[in-house]
Amino acid sequence: MSIIKALNITKTYNSTAVPVHALNGIDLEIEKGEFTAIVGPSGCGKTTLLNILGGLDHPTSGEVSLAGTNITTMQDGKLIDFRLRNIGFVFQAYNLIPVLTTQENVEFIMLLQKRPKKERDERALELLTQMGIADKASQRPSQLSGGQQQRVAVARALASKPQFILADEPTANLDSHSTSALLDIMAKMNKEEGATFVFSTHDQRVIDKARRIITLEDGQIISDETR
């Protein structure tokens, strides 16, 4: 069953003297539970495509459906609520809230969803334990290493059990050990919780873990390989 569908997606940026065609007619379907990497050289459209799939950006033309819901025509308020309840995001820059503890950062999405405190606490500690950083629950992001911060970011993305996890260059700032550990955790969560992972990456270590590799060049899909 296709849980993500993109039909004839284009994206053109007109902020410069010469229009930039970031995406040129992308057709893409992703099945539930996939562990997919979108790869290609810098400037090929990876992040733009990921942002459009996640409803963080609007395509110039075409449409995106997530779990049967067309998000392209959604009003902003409804789109924000849809993202909150269905999509987990992991960013290269972590985007943790510095004044919150590790546990509070993981709980943050569930707090916005108005989940009961007991449920939030249990889910956050469960994820931090799985990430191997339960002992850091009361520390703030500034007290953590880069690898630990990215684990917190992944835990936060998974906290509300979203249908999709979209990860934009999640290993770009991590060393080899941290990258390997993080990828093992995400692969385990993909298998155990059935979350659909889509990465944009140029990191060979991520590519080696992915079960499907979609290659972009000049805003177009030039290959799509399932292993």
Indicate the domain borders of the chain: 4-226
C-alpha span between 128 and 168 (Å, rounded): 21
- Provide the percentage of residues in the chain whose pLDDT is more than 90: 61
Q: What is the pLDDT of residue 178?
A: 80
Q: What is the pLDDT of residue 191?
A: 87
Q: Tell if the pTM clears 0.85, that is, is over it.
A: yes
**CB 171, CB 183: distance < 8 Å:** yes
**Which of the listed CATH numbers 3.90.740.10, 3.40.50.2020, 3.40.50.150, 3.40.50.300 matches domain 4-226?**
3.40.50.300
Sheet holding 164-168, edge to edge: 87-90, 164-168, 196-200, 35-39, 212-217, 220-226
171 band by pLDDT with thresholds 50, 70 and 90: confident
Tens of pLDDT, residues 110-165 = 999 999 999 999 999 998 998 889 999 999 999 999 889 988 998 898 888 888 89
Cβ-based neighbour number of residue 90 at 10 Å:
24
- Provide the percentage of residues in the chain whose pLDDT is more than 70: 100
